[in-house]
Amino acid sequence: MPANHIPLIDFRASDAAVLTELDYALSSVGFVMIKGHGIAPALLKRMRQVTVDYFKRAHAIKLKDVITADNYRGYIPLGFFSPSTAGSSPDNYEGYKLHLEIAEDDPIRRACSLYGPNRWPMNFAVMSTVVLAYWRACDRLGQRLLSALATIMGVDAAWFLSLFNKPLTNMTLLHYPPQESKNRGFGIHPHKDTDALTLLAPDSVGGLQVRRRDEEEWLEVQAEDDALVVNVGDLLELWSGGYFVSTPHRVLNYSGAERYSFPYFMVPRFDVLVEPLIPVQPGFSRQPVPVGEVSAEVWRTNWLAAQPAGNDFDLGTLPH
């Protein structure tokens, strides 16, 4: 799969054309580039600038916002999280974790402790203004994508969208410093996403690489200007019985330049049980996934000292 063979869809085309092309892209590659997506270029530019400006702040200032194991929101220092594979180098990125903004007194917090307000940096009010505007734009695009996917699978679109009412959707602002080519580590190690869909505005410096099913070669995603990259996560793969493909990917920043991104991860509401909605593909076998429980386990096991709970959840890791 040469890099330019990741399908490109124009969302301004007819509904029939979009459905046909989206069906092919997500069932064969698991990645697609979308133009005509409706997110204003000016908003994308502002979002990127806020991301750059945040990570340029002094390290001591950023550490005041550091993420904690009991509140998975805030600043992620360089090398803070590592792959769980023994002997692996820490991932070479710093980040800022955000989740759906939920008020302190919202009743859903009594049902699931994963919900709550975000931790916004002090003296940097522009972040919340821009991020929440971008989040709303991603919500609108995400709903259109979910409706299309429901149509492809032959399930009721309104019902499918209802599974994302008060979702565990989250976003990570990311900064990847340049890496020496001789460095055997990764910006982010090879993995699959544990969500339903990921929306990404790619950085022009490149570095995002994918590996298709049954192939060994890693190939770089080369997105067109103003195109977004969308990829399937494990939950959508499970819903589709393996029809849509959750594809391994990684980041290597050998560009010599600073790399920034801000992926938006679509996750259903905490009480949704994800299981196949259509007949499964030959050879596909996976247990149903309780969204709240698996989300808590994903967050918890990001800390090095945390051991998997032995519940057989696939947490986006790749087979060795």
* pLDDT of the residue at 215: 77
Average model confidence (pLDDT) for the chain? 91
The more confidently predicted of residues 32 and 224 is 32
Of residues 240 and 297, more confidence is placed in: 240
* pLDDT tier, 316 (very low <50, low <70, confident <90, very high otherwise): low
The closest alpha carbon to 204, from 225, 187, 188, belongs to 225
pLDDT digits (tens, 9 = 90+) for 270-295: 999 999 999 999 999 999 999 999 99
**Range in 45-59, 120-134, 172-186, 220-234 with the lowest mean pLDDT:** 172-186
Q: 3-300: CATH homologous superfamily?
A: B-lactam Antibiotic, Isopenicillin N Synthase; Chain (2.60.120.330)
The torsion defined by the Cα of 113, 118, 122 and 127, in degrees rounded to 10, comes to: 170
**Total Cβ atoms within 10 A of residue 58:** 8
pTM: 0.94
Q: Which residues contact 60 (CB under 8 A, 6 or more apart)?
A: none
Q: How many CA atoms lie within 13 A of 65 on its CB side?
A: 24
Spell out the residues 6+ positions from residue 290 whose beta carbon is closer than 8 angstroms to its own.
Answer: 272, 273, 274
The yes-or-no verdict on residue 184 having pLDDT over 70 is no
Greater confidence, 158 or 212?
Answer: 158
Quick one: average pLDDT of 84-91? 65
Asked which of 10-14, 137-141, 212-216, 313-317 is least confident by mean pLDDT, the reply is 313-317
Q: Which two tokens stand for residue 281?
A: 């593909």
Strand partners, 290: 273
- Output b/e per residue, 132-166; b: 16+ Cβ within 10 A: eebbebbbebbeebbebbbbbbeeeeeebeebbeb
Domain residue spans in the chain? 3-300
